[in-house]
Amino acid sequence: MNDMDTIKVAIVDDEPAARAIVAEHLADYPQFAVVAECANGYEAVKACAEHRPDLLFLDIQMPKLDGFEVLELLEVKPKVVFVTAYDEHAVRAFEVHALDYLLKPFTAARFAEVIAHVEQMVRRAESQPIAALNGVRRPLQRIAFREGGAIDVVPVQRIDYIEAQDDYVQVSAAGRKRTRQQTLGELATLLDPMRFVRVHRSYIVNLDSLARVEPYGKDSRVVVLKDGTRIPVSRAGYERLRELL
């Protein structure tokens, strides 16, 4: 948080009336400041990158990107309260470490309970961010990239390989390169390990894009992709490849 006394909030819901209700309730709590209201998942991803909210009030069922997919695409993950009319999503919501779950329509008393819980958790000095989604749900399906004022979402099956560039990764997909602020190690934990192999400390390869493995010098190898790209392979990377090929 920028200010010790303020918790920044983004409200995400495709229904204007639903956003207005949450904002109206929040007006009774001056320690919360609404920094963005978003009508869909794409707006939410963009707003989170720009405003870095501490908390999302996030609808689940929305067109194009649902609430879970929004979380999957965020580079920096705020705390989350899911707001939905469907209680069947409750188990999955807590699997991704949501702080709470507001079932529409909710009362002022229920909202006050959520606020008390949220404020305690957000202000906790050593609070942990929402856990990475690996280990508790399916592997990453899409990756979001900011390009100017737009959000570009790429399905992971289109990725050919990923290269580390300090604290960034360069993702090559269908002949186009895109950059995202994330380490290669972090991204590797989110991808399907049966499809994406870290063949080198600086490279991850999609096995679907692999053409062959060739020797390269003494005790060295390279992978050759279907488009002709050649990528170095470490000894450990080669062992991982052998297990899957």
**Per-residue model confidence (pLDDT) at position 92:** 66
Q: Do both 99 and 193 map to the same domain?
A: no
- Outline where the chain has alpha helix (H): 16-26, 41-51, 67-73, 90-95, 108-123, 184-190, 235-244
Domain C-terminal end among 93, 123, 153: 123
Q: Chunked in runs of 10, what are the mean pLDDT values of the chain (245 residues)?
A: 74 96 95 95 91 93 87 85 78 70 89 88 53 49 75 86 93 92 88 93 96 87 95 93 88
- Peptide bond connecting 105 to the previous residue in cis, omega within 30 degrees of 0: yes
Q: Do both 151 and 233 map to the same domain?
A: yes
Q: Do both 171 and 237 map to the same domain?
A: yes
- Report how far residue 228's alpha carbon sits from residue 223's, in angstroms, rounded to the nearest whole number: 9
Asked if residue 130 is part of any domain, the answer here is: no
* Residue 219, domain CATH: 2.40.50.1020
What's the number of domains the chain is made of? 2
Q: Do both 93 and 194 map to the same domain?
A: no
Asked if residue 103 is part of any domain, the answer here is: yes
Q: Do both 235 and 191 map to the same domain?
A: yes
Asked if residue 1 is part of any domain, the answer here is: no
Could you list the residue range(s) of the whole structural domain that residue 149 is in? 142-244
Q: Do both 73 and 112 map to the same domain?
A: yes
Asked if residue 79 is part of any domain, the answer here is: yes
Residues 6+ apart with CB under 8 A from 36: 10, 11, 43, 44, 47, 50, 51, 53
Q: Which two tokens stand for residue 228?
A: 């002709």
Place of tokens 């009336």: 17
- Report how far residue 26's alpha carbon sits from residue 9's, in angstroms, rounded to the nearest whole number: 9
Choose among 58, 56, 75, 76: nearest CA to 67.
58
Domain C-terminal end among 68, 91, 123: 123
Asked if residue 186 is part of any domain, the answer here is: yes
Asked if residue 72 is part of any domain, the answer here is: yes
* Residue 17, domain CATH: 3.40.50.2300
Q: Do both 157 and 226 map to the same domain?
A: yes
**Per-residue model confidence (pLDDT) at position 96:** 66
Q: Do both 160 and 224 map to the same domain?
A: yes
Asked if residue 137 is part of any domain, the answer here is: no
Edge-to-edge order in the sheet of strand 210-215: 210-215, 221-225, 230-233
Domain C-terminal end among 76, 92, 123: 123
Q: Do both 108 and 151 map to the same domain?
A: no
Q: Do both 161 and 79 map to the same domain?
A: no
In this prediction the pTM is 0.60
Q: Do both 73 and 153 map to the same domain?
A: no
Asked if residue 134 is part of any domain, the answer here is: no
